[in-house]
Structure 1
């Protein structure tokens, strides 16, 4: 797991945002991805990236979360049955690729946060996970690949 610093381009996303109790997180993800996939098919949008979970603040017992996909062929502001097309902002970020079970994501985020602090950088306040591989129910969770993205605050 190596941390890299990068500049992200803004991305057009189709997604569902909600504040979800932590025990309902998995069900929210499943529902949101299904809804976005259905909306993309209905509206003619093309899914152009892996599923993501965009956390708007640090989770507690409740999680302010947007889940969806980067899309092409959709205009900002469009919506379809609760799925909104909006922009995921770009900018400076630290990125870490985690390979393994989702159970290891907490440790991976801790490592990324330690790297951020060691570099003297400040996070923007939001962060996201991109689920590069689509985990299969009978697949090996140790082969999951998740891209952790920590946007950085940049002084004006």
Structure 2
């Protein structure tokens, strides 16, 4: 009996000691690593922003070929990946902040975890290319078991980070460089559109849903009224509010100039008058369009030009026909005086 009591005292002492030690362990753990990649940030950034690209470099995916991934939303804020894995466990990650070619922040939720972790990416331009920093922040709270679990896995996590960044580096450096943006001045031809104008948020998921619904409604209307669609779909942007994070946009379908059918509520005609314009043809996924817009705005400012109407995008490639984003061509146009 005395031996049993001694054993119990030792066990209690060990548990108490481990508990006391856990009080000195941090309630927030940070896993972080960086790599220098010989590629532009405009090449690297989409490989992280689009969760479907993670299948090409993510070490957790590579470690479990049976992992089931589900993706929702378009790449950007609101884009989400949910996974089910017998080896890695279940969980999800959703982008909550994104600054084109600069940084990404996502909320990580693991199965049976009450608190989120935060997945952070930083893309810093360097003379040789891009310095990419990957950091995950985990709030352990005061739970000693969770503290010990993450403390003991820190070495493994650091290796996973290194492997992931090395895979990302190899992939990014194997891709062709994003071409320099070339601005072209050209005449603007007259064109009539039917569109649906609305003020919406900057959230890519909201934008995608609004545009898809609008195009569907307009195409249904013109087909019903035997009106021909005369070219690729477009979208006009009339204003944006940086503080409110909203913009006034109008997805539109080109129709013959002579079209004068009465439109249903919510639809309107938009005419482009003949004149001049500056334009850029962007090749690649839509999340890279910011570089085209930035180049045009800089060109207009440097040349002291005056904008004459709403700028617009023309989607030369139908993404429903060609699924490869590397082939997508989008024309960004600013009418000028």
Shift of 1:117: 2.1
Q: 1:24-103 alignment to 2 at 5 Å?
A: 24-58=206-240, 60=242, 61-72=245-256, 75-76=259-260, 78-80=262-264, 82-103=266-287
SS in structure 1 at match of 2:197 = strand
Q: Which runs of 5+ in 2 are unaligned?
A: 1-180
Structure number with higher helix proportion? 2
Deviations, residues 6-37 of structure 1 (Å, cap 9, x unaligned) = 22122111111111122221111001100110
Report the CA distance shift for 1:93/1:42 in structure 2 as closer, same or farther (over 3 A): same
TM, length-normalised to structure 2: 0.42
1-structure distance, mates of 2:216, 2:258: 17
Equivalence for 1:21: 201
Q: Could you give the per-residue CA deviations for residues 69-103 of structure 1, whole angstroms, max 9, x where no partner exists?
A: 11127634720353323323332110111111111
Q: Report Cα offsets for 1:33-84 as digits up to 9, x if no partner.
A: 0011001111111000111110012454111111111112763472035332
Check if 1:122 corresponds to 2:282.
no
Structure 1 moving runs of 4+ over 3 Å: none
Describe the SS at the equivalent of 2:298. Answer: helix
Q: 2:26 — aligned with what? A: none
Give the CA deviation at 1:138: 7.5
Measured at CA, do residues 90 and 146 of structure 1 come closer, stay the same or move farther in structure 2, by a change above 3 Å? same
Shift of 1:105: 0.4
Aligned to 2:72: none
User: Is this contact kept in 2: 1:44–1:73, CA < 8 A?
Assistant: no
Ranges in structure 1 where 5+ consecutive residues have no aligned partner = none
Taking the aligned partners of 1:74 and 1:89, their CA distance within structure 2 comes to 14
Select 1:141's aligned residue among 312, 319, 325: 325
SS in 1 for 2:313: strand
Task: Give yes or no for contact 1:77–1:86 (8 Å, CA) kept in 2.
Answer: no
Q: How many residues align?
A: 153
Q: CA RMSD in A?
A: 2.1
- 2:192 touches 2:257 (CA, 8 Å); kept in 1? no
Do the aligned partners of 1:51 and 1:130 also contact (CA within 8 Å) in 2? yes
Question: Equivalent residue of 2:323, what SS?
Answer: coil
TM-score by length of 1: 0.87
